[in-house]
Structure 1
């Protein structure tokens, strides 16, 4: 009798919720960032004027990690001054999956540029040759040139991803978990959030936790409430053409109370300043939105077939893991170049009780 694997349908669920992984770098410095799709374009703003976005976009599922930042900086040292590993510096031992910190808004922008072009100084953000001075922000030109462009999320993009209710009825929540009630905020644990409430979730010296450790939020993100402050591209004063204006940061902090988790809390700071160990960020992707890889898995005796919607000429890599929330995903075979609207791969592994699958594109 053929043996059937139980995890096949779960693979379809993983992709259907809109999780995309984009791959960057090469060799030992290769890494991937998981994104969630924020749809429902042309939504209205919240009562405070924030959150209206007239296009679909993607936003990082988690904050950028120490390891991700270090691998990008190893390829281009103009990205930053190299102090982003504070939470894994030996005194602090959160790990490489901890949030990159001591990051200025400019350094977040240069990281996003590198994701787009392989250069810290070119992309949506135009910097001087030494990488120290932001000259201009031009998303439209970057999209026209590169197609998919990585950016710091605008305040509206960040706000919508955190607080806009996915049922798309035009309403927003006060907290990113979809609730307006303080009683619905869990303090700590794998189902909660890292903020201060009559004490710290983690004591000295490891106040932060690994990006994505806590509970999921209503649009599939993690840690948009607590852990580290997150930079936005938008100027705090609302100006659109002043590169040196203070930039917005949002989302609360492991050492700050629940009031900073609210949608009503917004702050601004000098974009050239690292701030301190409390400042991190996540990235967004605008422009070309990938075709959702809707997996239809088929049992073939002891093997598993993975089928997805594809674009002819596009290259894809099927990956597997034994844990949905793990950052460790492994390539299943080689890169597949699609020749039609359907991609297909087979996992012939034996002696495996379950696996989750995802499909990423170049």
Structure 2
């Protein structure tokens, strides 16, 4: 009897683990402090545990998605941002002569740079694909249902999702100090304005507070000299101004995320919360105010470089292990009885 029950339990565990096997994987930051208070504006309260990717979605991850759902390279769902492909910051190319399943490619050296040019519908389809196990999984249902141009609210039982405004905000600004309503002004765990500097920020007075955005203090001191990557205000259309995800390795949010301020804007889910659906966090071309918790997105912000940060529920195999341990303990107790 014991052997049979344990075998069933282990099969359940293997089944749970199987759902986690994926070509596209994420490094998660766990966001706890269930029931934390909102800030003074009413943002940031979340009454459940969730995970959010430590890093922005990369070119390599998005290309794997494109080749899986569109191996012929027809772009019938308009997932490939053609208008962005000529941008020097873009890391994507489409080679129609390449074999099926490899037509979408990453430019050399751009694997871990953030993808941009995403619409909310693009993000929905990517998350649906994750929810359906990747591979040949559907892009039209799962976490959201896409039907004749409309998008449903998030499935409350989904594993993968676009973070809503409160989930994104909490991960970026909440001080991770229990269920308080304490928030930092910037997603680098500080109220001090970040420094614009090349990664990892060693030229800045405080490398733990550096990011990829525009700031010019008018002093040639090696930081705050304009655009972070070049250290000046001169725009070069042939220059890549993005930085690899996590390149500011010392500048971390209280929950362990990177780049929630600067680099590329990040989409949020409009199903719940404030400013839902609007991008947050600013980008490489924006000033520091766009990185701040107090900034309220406006359509005039011209969020052109828009990417994504995926969220999820905690991994199911954790629960399976707990179940097995509890079940084994119960059986052993009964045998002793």
TM-score category (smaller protein): 0.5 to 0.7
TM-superposed CA distance for 1:197, in Å, is: 1.1
Query: Which residue does 1:227 correspond to in 2?
Result: 263
Change (3 A) 1:230 1:291: same
Q: Mapping of 1:120-135 within 5 angstroms? A: 120-128=139-147, 133-135=149-151
- Alignment correspondent of 2:38: 45
Answer whether contact 1:40 1:56 (CA < 8 A) is retained: yes
Equivalent residue in structure 2 for 1:171, among 179, 182, 200: 182
Q: Identify if the C-alpha distance between structure 1 residues 236 and 255 changes in structure 2 by more than 3 Å, giving closer, same or farther.
A: farther
More helix by share: 2
Deviation digits for residues 189-233 of structure 1, max 9, x if unmatched?
214211111211113411111111113222100100100000000
Q: Contact 1:94–1:206 (CA<8 Å) still a contact in 2?
A: no
**Offset at 1:238?**
5.2
Alpha-carbon deviation of 1:290? 5.4
Moved more, 36-45 or 209-218: 209-218
Matched, 1:261 2:291: yes
- Structure-to-structure mapping, 1:155-234, within 5 angstroms: 155-168=165-178, 169-182=180-193, 185=195, 187-190=197-200, 191=207, 192-198=210-216, 199-203=226-230, 204=236, 205-214=239-248, 215-234=251-270
Higher Rg: 2
Q: Which runs of 5+ in 1 are unaligned?
A: 1-21, 240-245, 293-308, 315-338, 342-362
- Partners of 1:237 and 1:32 lie apart in 2 by 27
Stretch moving more, 149-158 or 71-80: 71-80
Q: Contact 1:99 / 1:228 at 8 angstroms: preserved in 2? A: yes
Contact 1:224 1:251 in 2 (8 A): yes
Cα displacement string for residues 77-105 of structure 1 (whole angstroms, at most 9, x for unaligned residues): 36652127652258986611111111001
Aligned counterpart for 1:139 among listed residues 155, 171, 196: 155
Change (3 A) 1:250 1:24: farther
Counterparts of 1:340-355 in structure 2 under 5 Å? none
1:57 matched to which residue of 2?
A: 50
The answer as to 2:145 corresponding to 1:115 is no
Taking the aligned partners of 2:138 and 2:78, their CA distance within structure 1 comes to: 12
CA distances 1:275-298 after superposition (whole Å, capped 9, x unpaired): 74x110111103766539xxxxxx
Cα distance change, pair 80–34 in 1 and its aligned pair in 2 (3 A) = farther
Distance 2:61 2:30 in 1: 20
Q: SS where residue 137 of structure 1 aligns?
A: coil
Alignment correspondent of 1:76: 69
